[in-house]
Amino acid sequence: MVRTVGDSSIESRRVKMDLMKAVEAKQLKENAENFNIGDTVKVYFKIIEGATERIQIFEGACIAKNNEGIRKTFTIRKISYGVGVERVFPLHSPRIQKVELVRLGKIRRAKLYYLRDRVGKRAKIKELIRKKV
């Protein structure tokens, strides 16, 4: 006995996927991705504490980017009081006010997880110097 999938079920899946893509497209931020892996960035993140809201700045090196579309995330690593701190931010989150580029990094890898094991000067990322034309 051979099972066949009806055209109506395939068509309904397509309609659902199109609806999901349309909803996600409305929530995407424009020009949100102005940095690359290895760059030092400042993330202006909205913190809500009870009835008050404030903007907290998290500055560090971008060590990874993951996923695509509305689920895109990036990982920022900084050293705070001698302890490495990493935070994963959703790129298209309404809580992120802006991502400001501080310094360009010169790297040769897609993920910089090896920085977790390094301390001091060995944990630095070389700066990329762009030539002016």
What are the residue ranges spanned by the domains of the chain?
Answer: 32-114
d(CA 37, CA 109): 8
Classify domain 32-114 by CATH number: 2.30.30.790
Reported confidence tier of residue 89, pLDDT bands at 50, 70, 90: very high
Residue ranges of the alpha helices (H) in the chain? 7-27
124: pLDDT strictly greater than 60: yes
Top-confidence residue, 87 or 7: 87
pLDDT of the residue at 22: 80
Reported confidence tier of residue 132, pLDDT bands at 50, 70, 90: low
Angle value at C-alpha 127, between 111 and 37, nearest 5 degrees: 25
pLDDT more than 70, % of the chain: 92
Stated pTM of the model = 0.78
